[in-house]
Structure 1
Amino acid sequence: MKIIQAASAALLAGMVSFGTAQAEGLDELDPSVVERLYNPDMLDPSQPIGPSAYRDFIAKNPPPWTIGYASSYAGNTWRAAAMRELQEEIIPRWQALGLIDEVIITQSNLNDSTQIQQMRQLVDQGVDAIFVCCSNPTALNQSVKYAYDNGVPTFSFTGYLTSPYSVNSSVNYQLAGFEIGQWMADELDGEGRVLVVEGIPGTSGSDSQDRGVKAGLAKAEGIEVVGSIAGMWTDQVAQAEVQKWLATNPGGVDGITVQSAAELGVLRALQQSGREDVPTSIGGELGALCYWRKNPDYISTTYQVWPPQDEIRLIWHIMMRTLQGQGPKIQSVLVDPVEFTYEDLVEVMDEDCNVQSPDWLAVGPDRWGLDPAYIDQFFLRPADPTQYDPASHPVSD
């Protein structure tokens, strides 16, 4: 594996340095990280990157803390993998450390009004912090403010909230999407018809990545985007929608870009349509990676954009550090996408793998933002959150 250290030359061409105009917080980060991940020429324009509202935050209660997880959806393999990591790994570990009491989990099934109500109820129940995933970037803002007013910080992973009172973590999705779009154009030697399968339109992660994918594809004049459909980050939905599209578009398609978790559904749709395989972008679903493992000439590489186990670990560490008073500097902690080659795949997957596996690849915490040399720079008073002494917690006013 290699971490993408910079956007492509095409994206960076003509970029003007903005170091002298950096907002508070950004000027406290490694300049190479700022130039790579926070430059406005390669960043979703709505991504919040101002100073964090929690730079001087002190949790209202000492640990062990009660955490609320206001989940917006449970209906795909990604959410299942993140939930399994939370319940089987994160919660037991941090309970053993004496730093959390329990995690109260709610599900809104993509209903913003329900999620808003559930977040307010979590605050009223006395949680010490709330985290959410992959939600509408603006719909929850009043609830985030309600939580803030009651001393409860809100954290968003795999997508941002635009509230100044949230802390966000993710890949730079627009940059990751651009890399995927440009990769697809290169796979097709700069010419061909490409179908774009989005995630859940209206969520920040989906919209940012989709914008980047289409910008990357547009760099090749011979590439035509022949359709854009919503796979809803769900294999069954993507399979049905791609089958429908293929049945009503006899002109064919030469490549498909798809947001995980939907690539396995896209591969199934292609196979069931009776058409020849075409290059498809693959993320972290093990079943889809297994198909590539068995067919090494299928594609040249993949990009890991939101590995669920790593994503939820990252936001959990950010949340624990904030509750401990470490002081996040800025609103959004961004990390690089990880390029995953066939040689990388051979190291972690045997050829007798299961092409139907619903599980996910974990790239590892050090590759996904939790190397102390990386994550410490985002906090004013960085420290290993697993070494926190509950007895040392200050009392807030």
Structure 2
Amino acid sequence: MKINTIGKLCILAAVGSMATTSAIADTSGKRIALSNNYAGNSWRQAMLTSWDKVGSAAVADGMVAAADAFTTAENQVTEQAAQIQNLILQGYDAIVINAASPEGLNGAVKEACDAGVVVVSFDGIVTEPCAYRIAVDFKQMGKVQVEYLADRLSDGGNLLEIRGLAGVFVDDEISAGIHAGVDENKQFEIQGSVHGDWAQDVAQKAVAGILPSLPEIKAVVTQGGDGYGAAQAFKAAGRPTPIIVMGNRHDELTWWKEQKDASGYETMSVSIAPGVSTLAFWVAQQVLDGKSVPQDLTVPFLEITQDTLEESLANTQAGGVANVEYTLDDSIAVITGN
């Protein structure tokens, strides 16, 4: 498994020199909540599992008093805004947000800040200046897919784009990166685009629906959680399997290894690690602890190559996603690196 730094930082580079953290101020009475807008795919489930693992340990160790997670029933801005307002009323000291909209939650976020609540957004970030933001360069995550294909397919060809959840910041950014990559590599042309909602079953149905109208497809560019579904749709349609960029899910990596062993099939896989939620947790704790933290932090995405496939698959739980979880020391290293 390769962590692509994109020239920003290496997560663990400074950890060796920071094996002993600075003395911790008393955050044992502080309560941190996670406000999550969506949980309908394996990435979000892995993200919540990582949060619970690290948060529960922090509570057991007396680092904080609570690390509760709340997920809205629908991916709706109004519902998540109401959830955040409720968390303010419940007296949480910090709210970590995976947001349904970059701008739509800004009013609720400003209310939290005005009430003295620390707000940390990640993955789906918010633009309200008072909040902290932890982001991957999602545009580069989209662009790197096309750059990989340019190396593999010198003559180019037709592409199918599978997007994520409509209206979400992450979807817009990755798609923008894909289109920027195509603009720089004119040998490729996007022949169709569907929303797969970062879920295999949704992606399979969406691809199956558009395939009859498409010419030969040389490659599929994706956002994560959709590669295996795309492969099944091409198979069901009796069409040749193109190069499908994967998204670090266990079923995708398993399918890729099966194809690699059978025919030498080659591709790449890239996604943000769901354990970024644990970095957001520790950032909130550090701010509550009075530490100086940059308002904006950039972290790398995880890239799996043909050579690292077997190792990555062996370290990925069935039904899960290739992951990196953050300790307090790791998080201090990220903060320092930024």
- Give how far 1:119 is off: 0.6
User: For 1:363 and 1:68, how far apart are their aligned partners in 2?
Assistant: 21
The Cα RMSD (Å) is 2.5
User: For 1:286 and 1:104, how far apart are their aligned partners in 2?
Assistant: 24
Superposed, 1:234-313 pairs within 5 Å as 234-249=199-214, 251-296=215-260, 297-303=264-270, 305-308=271-274, 310-313=275-278
Provide structure 2 residue ranges, at least 5 long, that are not aligned to the other structure. 11-24
Superposed, 1:318-397 pairs within 5 Å as 318-329=283-294, 331-349=295-313, 357-363=318-324, 365=326, 370=330, 372-378=332-338
User: For 1:5 and 1:117, how far apart are their aligned partners in 2?
Assistant: 36
Q: Equivalent pairs: percent with the same residue? A: 26
The one of 102, 124, 134 equivalent to 1:159 is 124
- Give how far 1:252 is off: 2.8
CA contact (8 A) 2:132 2:296 kept: yes
- Give how far 1:176 is off: 1.7
Provide structure 1 residue ranges, at least 5 long, that are not aligned to the other structure. 7-31, 37-58, 379-397
- Give how far 1:99 is off: 2.2
Query: Which shows bigger deviation, 146-155 or 196-205?
Result: 196-205
- Give how far 1:220 is off: 1.7
**What TM-score results when the alignment is normalised by the length of structure 1?**
0.74
CA contact (8 A) 1:193 1:224 kept: yes
CA contact (8 A) 1:73 1:79 kept: yes
Match of 1:127 in 2: 92
Find the residue that maps to 2:307 and give its secondary structure.
helix
- Give how far 1:371 is off: 6.5
Superimposed CA distance per residue, residues 104-141 of structure 1 (whole angstroms, 9 cap, x where no aligned partner): 52424101111111110110111111112142100000
User: For 2:29 and 2:257, how far apart are their aligned partners in 1?
Assistant: 44
Superimposed CA distance per residue, residues 13-32 of structure 1 (whole angstroms, 9 cap, x where no aligned partner): xxxxxxxxxxxxxxxxxxx6
CA contact (8 A) 1:69 1:130 kept: yes
Match of 2:180 in 1: 215
CA contact (8 A) 2:279 2:325 kept: no
- Give how far 1:336 is off: 2.2
Find the residue that maps to 1:160 and give its secondary structure.
coil
Superposed, 1:161-200 pairs within 5 Å as 161-200=126-165
- Give how far 1:327 is off: 1.9
Match of 1:4 in 2: 4
Q: Given the alignment of the two structures, is residue 33 of structure 1 paired with residue 8 of structure 2, yes or no?
A: yes
User: For 1:91 and 1:364, how far apart are their aligned partners in 2?
Assistant: 11
Match of 1:86 in 2: 51
User: For 1:140 and 1:256, how far apart are their aligned partners in 2?
Assistant: 33
CA contact (8 A) 1:159 1:168 kept: no
Alpha carbons of structure 1 residues 374 and 104: separation in structure 2 relative to 1, 3 Å = closer
Question: May I ask how many residue pairs the two structures share in their alignment?
Answer: 318
Match of 1:23 in 2: none
- Give how far 1:270 is off: 1.7
CA contact (8 A) 1:184 1:217 kept: no
